[in-house]
Chains A and B, each alone.
Chain A
Amino acid sequence: MSLPTPPRHREIFSVVGLDLERAGQVSTEVQRILRRLGVEPEVVRRAGIVCFEGEMNIVLYTPGGRIILLVYDDRVELIFSDQGPGIPDVELARQPGYSTAPEWARELGFGSGMGIPNMEANSDRLEIRSRVGEGTVIRATLFRRKGEAAGNSGKAGA
């Protein structure tokens, strides 16, 4: 076991709940930062999708939260945390099509029950910790070199 290496780059964004005008802003900013750091285009693309879904979840369902971007030599991590209502059944939320979205969110083109499945399909590891009434923390890991995580980026096709 080698010592854990510190991230090459770290950025913290705050996300305001229900702020639909700015929703999505963090995702495009994250992509810009990753591109600037020379992260592989395929990882930048997946990170954008993961971040967008995570960001929309915070905006649509919680009073607010934050997104932490960690860039390592071998991976990119995105950590989403909020003080929202929590997810009562995480396994159910991982299933495509399962949604608790209110009507107004669906009218905006969201809430089709693809948020967490999308995050899962575009990351190599997705850890969800949630407590009802307290909030949710999701950590998405995207590996930058193939083979290091058992080549899980093809998971969507499994």
Chain B
Amino acid sequence: MRLREVAELVGARFLAGEDLADREVRAGFAADLLSDVLAMVREEGVLLITGMVTAQVVRVAEVMNLAGVLFVRGKLPAKPTVEYAASAGIPLLATLHTMYEVCGILYNHGLPPAKRKPLPHENEPPHPAPP
């Protein structure tokens, strides 16, 4: 699925990187916790669906080589963040839909979930409560 189609399906507009609208999105991942993105996304070309609009979202997108970032719930990053994304070649999109709606729409239209990386201690019992 191309970013352009993603934008059309969820009624999103490009905040940055509209020139990259034909970029292929391989899979989707939704989270508000950036550490979870870093921990779990294994492949490149993933669309991050998030309500987090800090500058670090774009850094994470860059570090992880994501296809782009789709902001939900009408949230908009600050101008310097948008400018940085544009300079770094990270497309940013924004929609008024909630995260759940966006995920449902894209999933229904065949965008697969990003391959999940098993956690380091996934098969071990939960850690004891902190003292």
Which A residues have a C-beta under 8 Å from some C-beta of B? Answer: 20-21, 23-25, 27-28, 31, 45, 48-49, 51-53, 56, 89, 92, 95-98, 100, 108-115, 117-118, 120-121, 155-158
Contact between chains at B64 and A49 (CB < 8 Å): yes
Which of B13-21, B92-100, B103-111, B113-121 interfaces with chain A?
B113-121
User: Do B55 and A23 touch (CB < 8 A)?
Assistant: yes
A sample of 8 inter-chain contacts (CB < 8 A) reads A23-B59, A28-B63, A95-B127, A96-B127, A97-B127, A98-B127, A108-B54, A117-B121
* CB contacts between A and B, total, < 8 Å: 103
Known: A49-B64, A53-B35. A156 touches B117 (CB 8 A): yes
For the complex, what is the distance from the CA of A49 to the CA of B88, rounded to whole Å? 17
Known: A23-B55, A109-B34. A156 touches B63 (CB 8 A): no
Most buried by A among B34, B50, B52: B34
Task: Give A114 to B120 CA distance when docked, in angstroms.
Answer: 10
* Chain B interfacial residues counted at CB < 8 A: 31
Closest to A45 in B: B65
Task: Give Cα A24 to B56, complex, Å.
Answer: 6
Shortest CB distance A126–B (Å): 11
CB pair A24 B35 closer than 8 Å:
no
A24 near B39 with CB under 8 A, answer no
Bound CA span A110–B55, Å = 13
A117 lies within 8 A of B59 (CB): no
CB distance from B122 to the nearest CB of A (A): 8
Contact A109 B56 (CB under 8 A): yes
On whether the beta carbons of A120 and B54 are closer than 8 Å, the reply is: no
